[in-house]
Chain A
Amino acid sequence: EVQLLESGGNLVQPGGSLRLSCAASGFTFSSYAMGWVRQIPEKGLEWVADISGSGAKTFYADSMKGRFTISRDNAKNTLYLHMNRLRVEDTAVYYCAREVASESYGHFERWGQGTLVTVSS
């Protein structure tokens, strides 16, 4: 059974940093691109970033580019999102989601349960 389990969400001050993790199981992790999507509380969904199955290719939303870094460790079956220079408006639930192939994007076939990041002083 495909499982995606996010962790690392926390309360952080503006300007601070945080690293989110997504532990994957039930499938061959390296065979699938992965992505992060966020949801501001009671609001809609916003794509954050995607990464290819090998990790060689990454893609970012403009508002996250230069502050967020998506990465993966295929030996540990884990996806990461490193977030720097956090802003109040980054407060959201962050979901990791599985794509359908190693270099196929924008499908989000399976989702994790999400982890809450709160940016506040």
Chain B
Amino acid sequence: DVVMTQSPLSLPVSLGQPASISCRSSQSLVFSDGITYLTWFQQRPGQSPRRLIYKVSNRDSGVPDKFSGSGSGTDFTLKISRVEAEDVGVYYCMQGSHWPLTFGQGTRLEIK
């Protein structure tokens, strides 16, 4: 199975400051069609997960442009340019290039 490793697991950030979450996979996520199926989800307290970013860097409809995804191969990053109170929650990466589908452990973002 592809192991997804996120860091840090806990991320205290001051309001208005940037935040960055790393996600590394145990093998390349480039699929046979040449596309890299790496997805980021946000789960706010008490809510269901919500997809933010798909195929490494594509923002979902309605997702603010302060969220950005980047990376390639086995190394990926989610960045928030300016953290706001509504960004508190847990962020997960997930790979969709190999069966079984696997998630990272999650990174808990909190306001410092």
* A contact set with B: CB distance below 8 Å: 35, 37, 44-47, 50, 59-62, 95, 105-114
Contact = CB atoms under 8 A, between A and B. Distances in A.
A112 B49 CA distance: 9
B103 A107 contact: no
B32 interface: no
Contacts of A50: 101
Nearest to A62: B100
Nearest to B104: A44
Interface in B85-105: 92, 94-97, 99-105
Contacts of B100: 47, 59-62
A107 B51 CA distance: 8
Interface residues of B, number: 22
B50 A111 contact: yes
B29 to A, nearest CB: 10
B48 A106 contact: no
Contacts of B95: 106
Shortest 3 CB-CB contacts between residues of A and residues of B: A106-B96, A47-B101, A111-B48
Contacts of A37: 49
Interface of B: 37, 39, 41, 48-51, 54, 60, 92, 94-97, 99-106
Given A44-B106, A45-B106, A106-B39, A111 B97 contact: no
A35 B97 CA distance: 15
B51 A114 contact: no
B49 A95 contact: yes
Nearest to A46: B103
B101 A106 contact: yes
Nearest to A110: B51
Contact of A45 (B37, B60, B92, B97): B92
